[in-house]
Structure 1
Amino acid sequence: MVNGTRCVALFLLVGVAARLVFAVNDDLLPNGDFEQAPDRSKLNGTRVMDPHAIPHWEISGFVEFIESGQQLEDMILPVPKGERAVRLGNDATIKQKLSVTRHAYYSISFGAARTCAQAEKLILSSPPDSGILPIQTVYTSSGWDTYSWAFKAKNTSVWFSIHNPGHEDDPACGPIIDHIAIKALPPPHHTKDSMLRNGNFEDGPYIFPNTPYGVLVPPVLEDAHSPLPGWMIMADTKVVKYVDAKHHAVPKGNHAVELVAGLECAMLQEVHTVPGRSYRLSFSVGDGATGCDGRLVVDAYAGREIVKVPYESRGTGGHKRAVLEFVAVANVTRVVFQSNNHHEARRHAVRPCHR
């Protein structure tokens, strides 16, 4: 039987699974917060002129070193934590060599803020893996979002890079990057009494302490390299959000997933099934106590069946159970969750509510 997926206001989770331990610590990369500044002699204004000027990093292209509250032209550039960050302008890259465990899975979490371009995107890579992360949508009132990406280490020493492929009229135009962290992930595995892998969402990307907005998981079409092990995110530019129980109302366990993009994004997993056999998918729908009130609706699909689960949110937390019974029609069945609607929280006018 398929019985694991719990949803909170568009969160999904299920029991708690034992974690695998890897040699790498889950924390900031060396100088991942850019608080170790380059020597002033290696700067031309804010632009970094020496490829090795920023401690622990190697750069190329138009990279700027930004300090909190700094004003460039008519814009004040924010830094979410600490005092310093970098801005990636035209064809800019920052990279660092990492010591990892060969063939292990890792997720990267980092903060990003859009500055001027409307369709900014970043390319993250650790050869041979790479991914394009769209960052044009803002999900927080501060303008800073935390994104995640995952890769599988090919060797014990690998390069990790963040690249802005943009070519704007203003060469400095590009996203600000700060607080880059790494976390070891277990391979996708089944939780107890469930055919779903990571159905309780206890395995996921690094969430920075004291960060109330969680981590965004961008479109991922390969579950083996997902920051949310076992799950794929199907969308053009939208995301789902990975959250913790410290800052959100999670019905069980420590983590859940918010569906923040309405019908523009779906979260899915492919499950091995036996044609003609009956299955039962159970999950929870609710709100994460984030101030969103109104009618929430989650659509769940499996086989040829669909269930629409409404939930009247008061924005203060709570959840209810839901079930989808289906008969498998193939050896592999897609289990899909999607938010049917979304609007904005009254207390945070620019932050979308999560269904």
Structure 2
Amino acid sequence: MRMVNLILLSVLLLSSTCHFVSAFTDGLLPNGDFELGPKRSDMKGTEVINRHAIPKWEISGFVEYIKSGQKQGDMLLVVPEGAFAVRLGNEASIKQRVNVTKGMNYAITFCAARTCAQEEQLNISVSPEWGVLPMQTLYSSSGWDCYAWGFVALSSIAELVIHNPGVEEDPACGPLIDSVAMRVLVPPKRTSMNLLKNGNFEEGPFIFRNTTWGTLIPPNIEDAHSPLPGWMVESLKAVKYLDSNHFSVPSGKRAVELVAGKESAIAQVVRTTPGRRYALTFAVGDANDACAGSMVVEAFAGKDTLKVPYASKGKGGFKRAVLRFVATQTRTRIMFYSTFYSMRSDDFSSLCGPVIDDVRLLSIRRP
């Protein structure tokens, strides 16, 4: 009996000293919404002073636990989901370890908002990979945007870190973080009905049910592993990933909105046979997000191009287009971008743009 008690005591002591490791399932990470907060004894005002005080997370640096409605000067801090979020001051970070499958692709989704500075940015990493996501451009009227970032698991445990590399005069000045989720990305395959991978955009990052502004997918200069499988964001700005629960989508449940003109492009390189004819078909529309006005989507297949105008009323709808071309190389770059910048008619501070969906590439016979 004494030996059993000693073994039990050893297990309890070991579990109390080991770092928490989450068992992963698609969706919100354990306490990913930060609704479970620190004890009062672990706080000094709004600052969290114990590195393990926020359940399921480990913190470092100046981290604040913020309640929705809290005031900062003349500004009211609003939390998109639930009642609480965290704020990362200068050189502060939050970390959680998650059980994953080695070799699989994953996408992190999290929501963030600026509070003090215009040049705020976030460093997100799963060692040894990392990326810096700039937050200068706001895409939603609420001040909150959700971001996706992709990675490949190199071991069975992923150590996710969200870090504020800022060096503001006020050490507490930094972005708010809320709603951290993760999703397994299934590698898409080409089919006899489509030479493109993930042409319908159904495979992509997690989208939160209770947010109405979609998920931003950063350019590939910020993320080596695209959270939109099959596609590269070849631009300076992000594209927005939409779902049919909140937006008008031409086909299926997911689509992409080109929200930053020519700075917001998606591309995919596909195998082709020189001299063979192909047809690139796709849908162009609007997301029913008050993005009204004249839009033009430019489609590229190698050196061939097609401009597709779309007169949007901002209430949903779409049209289909086709670009026919003869391949000149064994690999052809397929690319889309919006010719113009667009703003929502009900909010001139929010970028928007045309929606792309149901992209198909097929070999066709000569007439």
- TM > 0.5 between the two? yes
Change (3 A) 1:332 1:221: farther
In structure 2, the residue matched to 1:297 is 296
Equivalent residues of 1:35, 1:82 under 8 A apart: yes
In structure 2, the residue matched to 1:103 is 103
In structure 2, the residue matched to 1:211 is 211
Q: Distance in 2 between matches of 1:212 and 1:166?
A: 28
Q: Distance in 2 between matches of 1:40 and 1:222?
A: 38
In structure 1, the residue matched to 2:17 is none
Partner secondary structure for residue 225 of structure 1: coil
Q: Distance in 1 between matches of 2:191 and 2:90?
A: 44
Change (3 A) 1:256 1:337: same
In structure 1, the residue matched to 2:247 is 248
Q: Distance in 2 between matches of 1:255 and 1:228?
A: 11
In structure 1, the residue matched to 2:259 is 260
Change (3 A) 1:191 1:214: farther
Q: Distance in 1 between matches of 2:197 and 2:126?
A: 25
Once the two structures are superposed, residues 177-209 of structure 1 have per-residue CA deviations (whole angstroms, 9 ceiling, x without a partner) of 000011111124225511111000000110111
Relative contact order (alpha carbons < 8 A, sep ≥ 6): 1 or 2 greater? 1
Q: Distance in 2 between matches of 1:223 and 1:334?
A: 20
In structure 2, the residue matched to 1:9 is none
Q: Map 1:301-320; keep pairs closer than 5 Å.
A: 301-320=300-319
Residue 128 (structure 1) shift: 2.0
Give the aligned CA root-mean-square deviation in angstroms: 1.7
The number of equivalent residue pairs is 332
Amino acid at match of 1:49: I
Residue 225 (structure 1) shift: 1.6
In structure 2, the residue matched to 1:194 is 194
When Rg is computed on C-alpha atoms for both structures, the one with the higher figure is 2
Amino acid at match of 1:48: V
Amino acid at match of 2:51: P
Partner secondary structure for residue 320 of structure 2: strand
Q: Distance in 1 between matches of 2:72 and 2:293?
A: 41
In structure 1, the residue matched to 2:220 is 220
Residue 263 (structure 1) shift: 1.2
Q: Distance in 2 between matches of 1:326 and 1:302?
A: 7
In structure 2, the residue matched to 1:137 is 137
Once the two structures are superposed, residues 216-259 of structure 1 have per-residue CA deviations (whole angstroms, 9 ceiling, x without a partner) of 111125997211111111223x2101111122221211110000
Q: Distance in 2 between matches of 1:151 and 1:188?
A: 16
In structure 2, the residue matched to 1:178 is 178
Identity %: 55
Change (3 A) 1:123 1:188: farther
Residue 273 (structure 1) shift: 1.7
Q: Distance in 1 between matches of 2:119 and 2:290?
A: 29
In structure 2, the residue matched to 1:284 is 283
TM-score using structure 2 length: 0.87
Q: Distance in 2 between matches of 1:102 and 1:140?
A: 35
* Alignment gaps of 5+ in structure 1: 1-22
Change (3 A) 1:129 1:34: same
Residue 276 (structure 1) shift: 2.7
Change (3 A) 1:287 1:303: same
* Alignment gaps of 5+ in structure 2: 1-22, 355-367
Amino acid at match of 2:68: S
Equivalent residues of 1:305, 1:326 under 8 A apart: yes
In structure 1, the residue matched to 2:34 is 34
In structure 2, the residue matched to 1:231 is 231
Q: Distance in 1 between matches of 2:187 and 2:124?
A: 20
Equivalent residues of 1:191, 1:199 under 8 A apart: no
Equivalent residues of 2:80, 2:211 under 8 A apart: no
Residue 173 (structure 1) shift: 1.1
Q: Distance in 2 between matches of 1:299 and 1:288?
A: 18
Equivalent residues of 1:38, 1:53 under 8 A apart: yes
Equivalent residues of 2:131, 2:223 under 8 A apart: no
Q: Distance in 1 between matches of 2:76 and 2:141?
A: 16
Residue 345 (structure 1) shift: 1.8
